[in-house]
Structure 1
Amino acid sequence: MQLTSITAQLRRIVVAAGLALGALLALAGPAAAHASLVCATPPNGAVLAAEPRQLTLRFSEPVTLALSSVRVIGPDGRRVDSGPLRGADSGGGAATVAMALSAEERPGTFVLNWRATAADDGHTTTGTLTFSVGAPSRTIAAGGAERSDPVTDAVLNLAVWLGFAGLAALVGYAAIRLYCLPPGAPTELRWPATLGWTALLAGTLLQLFSYGPATQGESLAHLADRNLLAATLPTDEGKVLVARILLLALTAAAGGPLLRRSVPGGIAAVALTLLLALTWSETSHAAEGTLVPIALLVTTLHVAAMAVWAGGLLTLAVLLQRGSSAPLLTTTARFSRLAFGAVGLLVVTGLYQAFRELGSPAALTGTPYGRLLLAKAGVLLAVLAVAAVGRSRLSRRDTLPSRAVLLELAGATVLLVITVLLIGSAPAGR
């Protein structure tokens, strides 16, 4: 495939992506929901003759009891909930939970603050209810369930981004070495793979320890809280993060053979890449709603394509900056073809995800999630424009301009940041 042909096809991807997005928005239906409150006993705003001994909340899907909470504030401003949150948790969470109240008579208005962490994708939702005994009264406390620690939330987002960046550096280096470097080319450059593996491990560990405090709105002082860590490990999030660490150990043990240019090594590298990418799918919005197996496959391919493209850009930028002895013209030409396929896969899988997560066309501009999707699409189009210019220059000179590669890499970095924000946001219809 000629480089001029690749440039023309990049332009076609931009046009096709816009047309496909419009068609998908026109066909978009309702999206599935997070763990939202379905009903409560007593119901919100109820006025009761006597104080209940127990409160019951029913959610739209199972929640993890150890990472969910119910706090009830009485008319005098004191907490009146008693004992742990209870529910029929069979290992996959409980959709109906109950909280006992202390045995005292307190006429007036009670405020119930709840936090629920979904058992499937690990996202936390919050809410506030009120009920009164005898007659309504002035409330002393409200909205406590909405509390969060911005520093802890930022650290959790940083951990997710660090994991993405590490996966990209590791996979992109392997793609350049196994596919783009000509046979017999020098392969003395190894530190991008080491850096990627280390960043991926560090990000995963940080995510594992900060997840519990973030779901509970706690500060970083609780980062090493053994109770929160013990509550995190049995959840889907905890199991997936532990599986990712084991995959990283396997990658380290088999690193040498994986990077040798051979059919078994290439197959093993692709398999490990897809398994690592699957660990993001399992804790994303793909893990809930309809057609979950298809959504998991699509998200896995989306993450893997991102890693090949963004990580390959990093390794190529290092080669260009170092003036490596590797034959850069052949390497950049092969990477152009590889990047073209990866970006095409990114567009197709991204459009499917948008179709699945948007509840309606109006949600694209009317919700934070939809606006983040628009921002991601805009950045991707800008990066594709930069890539098209860079590839057109490649056909007229010896190597791809390093400035164009750095601009592409900067755009890919911004896309990763937006992706992290999307993971932490409720989809438009939820």
Structure 2
Amino acid sequence: MTRGWLRVGSRVTAILLAAFVVLLFGASPAWAHGGLERSDPPNGGVVAIGRSALTLWFTEPIAESASTFELQTSNGVRVDVTASVSDTDGGGIVRIGTQPLAKATYLLNWKVFSTEDGHSTSGSLLFGAGTRPGAVASAAADAPDPPGLILRWLDLSAIMLAIGALAVSGRVFDSMGEIGNTLRRRALVIGALAVCVAVVTGAITPFLLTQRGGSSLGLWFDATWATLTGTPWGHLWLAREIAIVIAAAALVRATRPGGAGGRVQIAAVALAAVVCLEAWAGHASTLPSRSALAALASASHLVAAGVWAGGLTVLAICLIPVMRHHPDLRGRILASAWRAFSPMAAIATVVLLATGLYEAGRHIPDLRSVASTVYGGAVAGKVALIAVALTLAVINTLLVNPRLAARVGRFLGRPVGWPPVSLRRFTIVVATEILVLVIAVGAASVLTSVPTAREIATATRQTVLHTATVDGLFVTFEQLPAGPDQSRLIVRARSIVKLEQAPVNGVSVTLAAPSGTTTDVLLKGIEPGRYEAEIARPATGAWKATVALQRDGLPAAVTQVGWTVSAASSDGARPLEIVTSGLAVLLLAAMLGTVGLTLRRKTETVRPTSLIPEFALRGNRGSRS
């Protein structure tokens, strides 16, 4: 039996490898997390003829070796460019150099790889040099590409199935006596096959993420290796892959006769490490605050999903064939294995709901984002699927717990012996629940493959443009974020009179901080009429900027603007986050209270049986004396 399972698993793994190779060469995913925050020029904007510098701001640090930038005219003529990412900017600003641009409309296609969460995103930027383009390009792809989504779904499903196999191989199969030993071995085989699939998907993922169109295989491998060894996400992914290999080796050895021993514990520890690394390499690492708590919630969410969905699937694979071939064992199996699994699944469900609520509050800024973003829509879909799965789980629980079903029946006014559905349909209800959970895992794959609603809100946040008119000049002043600890000052100036006395040839800004201290900043000319400089991120409070524009033979044109730097809203808890976090705490508290009360009742029911003989013995001794 075990050899047959392993033989089937090896064939499935070979098919998956072949299919993934086709997916790798056939398409590129758009697991978009490091979104484009803004650009210079903006999408649909105009630059002066002769411009030779373009700048892109991304929401996360970018890996230069795994990113591509291609510039071409509207006629398809390619323009050579050079791209550089500076660590001093936090790694999220890309400076693109090009030859002086002639009058034309240009399209910049970009694909970048985030070093924080290991996901890539792509998009296009349309602008004109000396002319305004007739359309605006799509800034970024918000929906995931099918190959990447399928790979992610298989990866998550394999990890959950392995967790479920370990969860039911202990207490659940112990309750079945001798027959449980055979089924335990079958469950471990399923877990070993699942982990082997996770090894394959984990090995392919970096190549799929760093795929570069038109590059040779050598450059592709070099870029992937540079990503794995030179980025924080790459280090986490390598550690995750090592942990999965250890878990696979331990579970394969545990499937051999008499080979379980401590290898199951080794596999459990390795899978725990996989879950923690998976959580830290995901969305939690991009949060501006309390990212460790978010990573803990994400890891707990994955474990709970594995115990419920993975454990239920393993039980169905192991027990339903036995129930069909041996109808006489149906009652024993329902009374032992399924009933032993019910409390475990109930606790996992509560943890799943609580951590899911907390994560939704951290990654969704408001309810409007549910309808306006792919991430919000995926959360809503997953909630609906979980609600259906919970309904089916309640039906299954009532079928395997007659006493609980009797209490519910009395509460609903049903006759004695009322079942929610016929016991003959138990396997159909279980299969339907598994199918719904499989679809829910697909929704989870979407959630981990697209930008969160919070990331989109951050990327599309508008800045305030200050304007003034002085000495025949129309002046604009803008302060933009430029990395985690940097800001960029941008001053534009153009003449509003027909006979311009002299062009602006220099700009300086004196910044007055809320504390009263002043700082002089000299701006650099980027193109005629545009000047920029980078400074440390301003502190919270009211600021003033005195802008001085220099012209030959004329006194400086001076104007003053004021603005207020507020505390970053992303660092504080939003109303939705407060509500969801409160509901999560209530759910966990209710679960802990219920578990504690149940254990206390069990202790109280056991205690009198052990004390009665002692009291009787004491009474007999007293009568004798």
Q: TM-score range by the shorter chain?
A: 0.7 to 0.9
* Rounded Cα–Cα distance in structure 1 between residues aligned with 2:299 and 2:72: 44
Among all aligned residue pairs of Structure 1 and Structure 2, give the percentage whose two residues are the same amino acid.
Answer: 24
Q: 2:92 aligns with which of 79, 91, 95?
A: 95
> Letter of the aligned partner of 1:417 in structure 2?
G
1:201 corresponds in structure 2 to: 199
Q: 2:435 aligns with which of 399, 403, 410?
A: 410
2:445 corresponds in structure 1 to: 420
Cα shift at 1:381: 0.8
* Between 289-298 and 39-48, the greater mean CA deviation after superposition: 39-48
Taking only aligned residues, the RMSD between alpha carbons, in angstroms, comes to 3.7
Q: Deviations over 1:254-306 (max 9, x none)?
A: 33579999997776554333212123213322221131101110000101111
Q: 1:229 and 1:426, CA in 2 relative to 1: closer, same or farther beyond 3 A?
A: same
> Letter of the aligned partner of 2:205 in structure 1?
Q
Q: Deviations over 1:314-360 (max 9, x none)?
A: 22112222217996231111111111111111000000011111111
Conservation of the 8 A alpha-carbon contact between 1:178 and 1:261: no
1:401 corresponds in structure 2 to: 426
* Rounded Cα–Cα distance in structure 2 between residues aligned with 1:144 and 1:344: 41
Cα shift at 1:219: 9.1
2:220 corresponds in structure 1 to: 225
Q: 2:346 aligns with which of 336, 340, 346?
A: 340
1:180 corresponds in structure 2 to: 172
1:29 corresponds in structure 2 to: none
* Rounded Cα–Cα distance in structure 1 between residues aligned with 2:137 and 2:218: 24
2:208 corresponds in structure 1 to: 210
* Rounded Cα–Cα distance in structure 2 between residues aligned with 1:315 and 1:101: 57
Conservation of the 8 A alpha-carbon contact between 1:59 and 1:95: yes
> Letter of the aligned partner of 1:98 in structure 2?
R
Conservation of the 8 A alpha-carbon contact between 1:364 and 1:370: yes
Please list, as runs of the form range in 1=range in 2, the aligned pairs for 1:365-376 lying within 5 A after superposition: 365-376=371-382
The alignment status of 1:283 with 2:281, answered yes or no, reads: yes
Cα shift at 1:233: 2.0
The alignment status of 1:155 with 2:161, answered yes or no, reads: no
Helix, strand or coil for the counterpart of 2:59? strand
2:131 corresponds in structure 1 to: 136
* Between 46-55 and 156-165, the greater mean CA deviation after superposition: 46-55
Q: 1:37 and 1:376, CA in 2 relative to 1: closer, same or farther beyond 3 A?
A: closer
> Letter of the aligned partner of 1:99 in structure 2?
I
Aligned residues: 388
The alignment status of 1:381 with 2:379, answered yes or no, reads: no
> Letter of the aligned partner of 1:405 in structure 2?
V
Q: 1:170 and 1:221, CA in 2 relative to 1: closer, same or farther beyond 3 A?
A: farther
Cα shift at 1:126: 4.0
* Between 338-347 and 278-287, the greater mean CA deviation after superposition: 278-287
Q: 1:227 and 1:78, CA in 2 relative to 1: closer, same or farther beyond 3 A?
A: farther
* Rounded Cα–Cα distance in structure 2 between residues aligned with 1:282 and 1:343: 22
1:168 corresponds in structure 2 to: 160
Cα shift at 1:171: 1.6
* Rounded Cα–Cα distance in structure 2 between residues aligned with 1:332 and 1:423: 32
Q: 2:270 aligns with which of 255, 262, 272?
A: 272
The alignment status of 1:354 with 2:352, answered yes or no, reads: no
* Between 386-395 and 269-278, the greater mean CA deviation after superposition: 269-278
Cα shift at 1:399: 10
Helix, strand or coil for the counterpart of 2:92? strand
TM-score normalised to structure 2 length: 0.55
1:52 corresponds in structure 2 to: 51
* Rounded Cα–Cα distance in structure 1 between residues aligned with 2:126 and 2:146: 31
Q: 1:383 and 1:230, CA in 2 relative to 1: closer, same or farther beyond 3 A?
A: same
1:7 corresponds in structure 2 to: none
1:117 corresponds in structure 2 to: 113
The alignment status of 1:299 with 2:292, answered yes or no, reads: no
Cα shift at 1:142: 7.3
* Rounded Cα–Cα distance in structure 2 between residues aligned with 1:127 and 1:158: 21
Conservation of the 8 A alpha-carbon contact between 1:62 and 1:119: yes
> Letter of the aligned partner of 2:311 in structure 1?
G
Q: 1:281 and 1:77, CA in 2 relative to 1: closer, same or farther beyond 3 A?
A: same
Cα shift at 1:73: 2.3
1:3 corresponds in structure 2 to: none
> Letter of the aligned partner of 1:391 in structure 2?
T
* Rounded Cα–Cα distance in structure 1 between residues aligned with 2:101 and 2:208: 39
Q: 1:176 and 1:219, CA in 2 relative to 1: closer, same or farther beyond 3 A?
A: farther
Conservation of the 8 A alpha-carbon contact between 2:33 and 2:114: yes
Q: Structure with the greater relative contact order (CA < 8 A, sep ≥ 6): 1 or 2?
A: 1
TM-score normalised to structure 1 length: 0.78
Conservation of the 8 A alpha-carbon contact between 1:109 and 1:137: yes
Conservation of the 8 A alpha-carbon contact between 1:35 and 1:125: yes
Helix, strand or coil for the counterpart of 1:61? coil
Unaligned runs of 5+ in 1: 1-32
> Letter of the aligned partner of 1:375 in structure 2?
G
Helix, strand or coil for the counterpart of 2:105? strand
Q: Deviations over 1:59-101 (max 9, x none)?
A: 3331121232332224654222323x212248x9712221211
* Rounded Cα–Cα distance in structure 1 between residues aligned with 2:391 and 2:47: 64
* Rounded Cα–Cα distance in structure 2 between residues aligned with 1:223 and 1:334: 53
* Between 353-362 and 218-227, the greater mean CA deviation after superposition: 218-227
2:236 corresponds in structure 1 to: 240
Cα shift at 1:137: 5.7
* Rounded Cα–Cα distance in structure 2 between residues aligned with 1:73 and 1:118: 24
Q: Rg bigger for which structure?
A: 2
